[in-house]
Every structure is written in structure tokens, then in C-alpha cells.
Amino acid sequence: MKGRRQKIDARRIRVSQSYTIPEIARLLGRTIPTVRSWIKQGLPVLPDTSPRLICGEDLKNWLSERARSRKQPCGLARLYCCKCRRPQRPKPDSVGTSELTSKNVKVSGKCGACGTQMQQSRKLKDLPLIIAAMKDPTQGQASLTGYSNALVNQLFEQASDQTDLNASQKGKSNVH
């Protein structure tokens, strides 16, 4: 099918029922990898279920929460906190990255308000700005804990020194 994907019809979800991943995919007209990616993004799975089961009520809530979070762009300095139900600044020393690809990176951090772990996929090219924005200017000692990837450290250093950003990117063509 071309064009925009059909909107998810959450009314099809029965709150009192539990679903497997293929059942959800069929029910909502999405692919199985899409549903798996929702779980990675935080869709709750019932504990100790194999195959994994998702409670209909959780699914419904999570999808409506996600729709709401999409309407509230987080900006560079914030991640969406599912407990506070709005974008929040992460604690600077909790910010970390994972699943680095040539285009995307997963940025995570603990909510500055409630401590809940937050995680969102961002464009890799935005990472220096994201790190700079998330680093609280009043806490210059922001720790690099969690930055296991050399590239991320390099980007972090670039972000730390905005004046050098353009020059160093020209000089280092090995960013990809």
C-alpha cells in the first residue's frame, strides 16, 4: 500500500484480553517487527509469559500515551517520561547512548523529576546538540559514565566545545 499508513484503531483492543505479538499485529494492521519495536520502546509485557503476552489494557494505554507524546515534541534536551507523562530533562550524569547505527542512536537517561528510565531513538547527526542540550550548564562535571562508544565520546567532546564543532567535523571525516 502506498501513502500514509492507516491509523491504529485502538477501539479494537479489548482491555480484558491478553494478546500475543502476532495477534496484536493482525488486530491493528501492523507488522510483527513493528509490535516488537513497541516492546523495545516500552510497551509492557506480562511477566513470565512465553510466547510473550501483552495485556489489552496496557496496550491501549501505551498507544494513547505514545500518540500524546508525539504531539509534544521533546526538543533536544528532553526525553519522554512515561511516569510523568511528559517530556522531561534527564539527570545529566545518567545520560547514555546505545544501539548506535550510522543514522540513529538510542538516547537514554533517568528522569530528572522522578528517576524513571527514559529512552528514545534520535538522529545520530543531532547527537552532539542533544548531548550539549542535556548537559546541565550548572554542572560542568557531567560524567561520561555510560558512554562506551568511542564515536559517542568524540561527539560529546565536539558538543562540549561548540566553537570547535564545525572545524573538527571537517577535520574528522571518519564520523560514519
Grid cell, residue 105, equals 542512536
Nearer to Zn ion among residue 59 and residue 81 (C-beta): 81
Nearer to Zn ion among residue 78 and residue 124 (C-beta): 78
Which part of the chain contacts Zn ion (CB under 5 A), choosing from 22-30, 33-41, 100-108, 109-117?
A: 109-117
Q: Dihedral through CA 93, CA 38, CA 87, CA 79, nearest 10?
A: 30
Nearer to Zn ion among residue 82 and residue 124 (C-beta): 82
Q: Which of 10, 63, 84, 144 binds Zn ion (CB under 5 A)?
A: 84
Locus of grid cell 546538540: 129
Q: Which of 35, 74, 81, 152 binds Zn ion (CB under 5 A)?
A: 81
Q: How many angstroms separate the CA atoms of 135 and 75, rounded?
A: 14
Q: Which of residues 87-106 bind Zn ion (CB under 5 A)?
A: 88
Nearer to Zn ion among residue 84 and residue 100 (C-beta): 84
Q: How far is the CB of 139 from Zn ion (least distance, A)?
A: 19
User: Which amino acid is it at 155?
Assistant: L
Nearer to Zn ion among residue 69 and residue 158 (C-beta): 69
Q: How many residues bind Zn ion (CB under 5 A)?
A: 8
The DSSP letter of residue 99 is S
Q: How many angstroms separate the CA atoms of 41 and 166, rounded?
A: 33
Q: How many angstroms separate the CA atoms of 75 and 77, rounded?
A: 6
Sketch the per residue contact string, 146 through 175, with Zn ion: x for CB under 5 A, - otherwise. Answer: ------------------------------
Q: Dihedral through CA 111, CA 150, CA 40, CA 35, nearest 10?
A: 140
Query: Phi and psi (nearest 5°) for 156?
Result: -60, -45
Contact 32, 25 (CB under 8 A): yes
Residue 83 as a binder of Zn ion (CB under 5 A): the answer is yes
Q: Which of residues 111-130 bind Zn ion (CB under 5 A)?
A: 111, 113-114, 116
- What residues make contact with Zn ion under the rule CB under 5 A? 81, 83-84, 88, 111, 113-114, 116
